[in-house]
Amino acid sequence: MNPLFMSKHILLGITGGIAAYKSCELVRLLKKQGHSVSVVMTNSATEFVSPLTFQALTGNPVLSDTYSGASNNGMAHINLTREADAFLIAPATANTIAKIANGSADNLLTTLAAARKCPLAVAPAMNVEMWNNPANLRNIEQLVSDGITVFYPNSGEQACGETGTGRMVEAVDLADLLEDLWTPKLLSSKKVLITAGATFETIDPVRGITNISSGQMGMALARACRAAGAKVTLIYGQIQTALPAGLAHSEQAISAEAMYQAVHRHIHEQDVFISVAAVADYKVKNSSNEKLKKNGNQPPVIELTENPDILASVATLPSPPFCVGFAAESHQVLEFARTKRLRKNVPMLVANQVSVSMGKPTNQITIIDDLAETSFPETSKRQAADEIVKRLAELLA
């Protein structure tokens, strides 16, 4: 099994902020992903959520004092991070951030941060003025230069009633971003543009032509590329799934023409283009601004005209990024895919069977490139995306 998908042990540090309630949901999501979680709390965190809550959610004892003796040899500050694949502090208060930035170790949580061997990430949560305080921003910079990952807070309405930056990243996004900590950086600092989802071609104000693509493969690839260290720009049509966190840029482009324009606005700065979107080959020539009405026995005539081929247009740019195409076929999958790769002039193409891929959480892919043709068994789209990233990194090297 790919070691990336083996369950991890996560040490979750909780400090004293109202966002501590979001960490209950985070534990639930991490457990659902198959990970195990141990919780360590500062004393002030226990004022916000009871340790018993986290004990029940994790199934593990919750530690909050350096000398509690709950660890069998009294070495909790060493043992807890030695057993962990990652240490996440969420929420991280300005106070705890300041202590970690300065190497202070005055409670179990900060001592663990100082004595850790595993990767450390912090998810700050605080009032907007505290976040913008130059001392805090200096401390954040210090954490980053010390190799600590910062999941930067969101902007919005705060528990104190003020508005601005300081809201902790949502639990669902933290659970998504956490995997970046243990993923090898195969695409470090590469810029990757991905198209995803289904396009929609308007017939009239209430009707259109679309397809059954859900966007799941594109989202899985965006996550896999981000986790591998890439700066991801995502241009998506209609999707039935959540957008990944931590993207460099994302925007929606519903029609093929809008997607073509959006891709060409961003393509010049990209190293890689992965064209996952199920783009309509044709748009409606005679689309109507008014809703079409039934007209006796006379069905309306919908005239079609060809859309631009986005992938082919990128692949034929004077200095194109490395292009990866997809081919979803209902039959003769490999034959059509091989021809499509040559026709579109792309170095790498991923072939899949419509019936096991489109609109589904799983996929069975074959990667075709200049050197090899490799088929993988049916897996989750996320695992398929990791195989694509692995091969992409080999070809880029």
Q: Which residues sit in the known binding site for CTP? A: 281, 291, 308-311, 326, 340, 344
Does residue 194 bind ligand CTP (CB under 6 A)? no
Tell me the HSE value of 174 on the side-chain side, using a 13 A CA sphere. 34
Does residue 310 bind ligand CTP (CB under 6 A)? yes
Does residue 309 bind ligand CTP (CB under 6 A)? yes
Alpha-carbon torsion (229, 230, 233, 238), positive or negative: negative
Using the contact rule CB under 6 A, the part of the chain among 40-48, 147-155, 238-246, 303-311 near ligand CTP is: 303-311
Choose, by CB under 6 A, the member of 328, 351, 385, 393 that binds ligand CTP. 328
Residue given tokens 């091989």 in the structure block: 338
- Shortest distance (Å) from residue 361 CB to ligand CTP: 20
- Shortest distance (Å) from residue 306 CB to ligand CTP: 8
Does residue 216 bind ligand CTP (CB under 6 A)? no
Rounded Cα–Cα distance for residues 62 and 287 (Å): 62
70: its two tokens: 């709950």
The DSSP line for 208-224 is EE--S--SHHHHHHHHH
Closest of 220, 336, 315 to residue 276, by C-alpha: 220
Using the contact rule CB under 6 A, the part of the chain among 133-141, 162-170, 242-250, 323-331 near ligand CTP is: 323-331
Q: What is the distance of C-alpha 283 from the center of its chain?
A: 31
Does residue 311 bind ligand CTP (CB under 6 A)? yes
Choose, by CB under 6 A, the member of 38, 139, 307, 383 that binds ligand CTP. 307
Does residue 327 bind ligand CTP (CB under 6 A)? yes
Q: Phi, psi (5° rounding) for residue 75?
A: -115, 45
Choose, by CB under 6 A, the member of 180, 326, 353, 391 that binds ligand CTP. 326
Under a CB-based contact definition with an 8 Å cutoff, are residues 117 and 180 in contact?
no
Number of residues that bind ligand CTP (CB under 6 A): 14
Stretch 242-281 residues interacting with ligand CTP (CB under 6 A): 256, 275, 277, 279, 281
Binding-site annotation, residues = 281, 291, 308-311, 326, 340, 344
- Shortest distance (Å) from residue 264 CB to ligand CTP: 12
In 219-291, the DSSP E strands lie at: 231-236, 249-252, 272-275, 282-284
Number of H helices, E strands in the chain: 15, 21
Does residue 335 bind ligand CTP (CB under 6 A)? no
Rounded Cα–Cα distance for residues 343 and 101 (Å): 54
State the catalytic residue, choosing from 24, 118, 160, 323.
160
Pairing of strands 362-363, 322-329: unpaired
Using the contact rule CB under 6 A, the part of the chain among 182-190, 224-232, 320-328, 365-373 near ligand CTP is: 320-328
Closest of 333, 370, 369 to residue 351, by C-alpha: 333
Does residue 325 bind ligand CTP (CB under 6 A)? yes
Closest of 94, 95, 61 to residue 79, by C-alpha: 61
Does residue 233 bind ligand CTP (CB under 6 A)? no
Nearer to ligand CTP, 131 or 326 (CB): 326
Rounded Cα–Cα distance for residues 264 and 80 (Å): 49
Residue 160 annotated among the catalytic residues of the structure: yes
Alpha-carbon torsion (156, 228, 353, 347), positive or negative: positive
- Shortest distance (Å) from residue 198 CB to ligand CTP: 11
Nearer to ligand CTP, 268 or 331 (CB): 331
Catalytic residues: 160
State the residues that interact with ligand CTP by CB under 6 A. Answer: 256, 275, 277, 279, 281, 307, 309-311, 325-328, 340
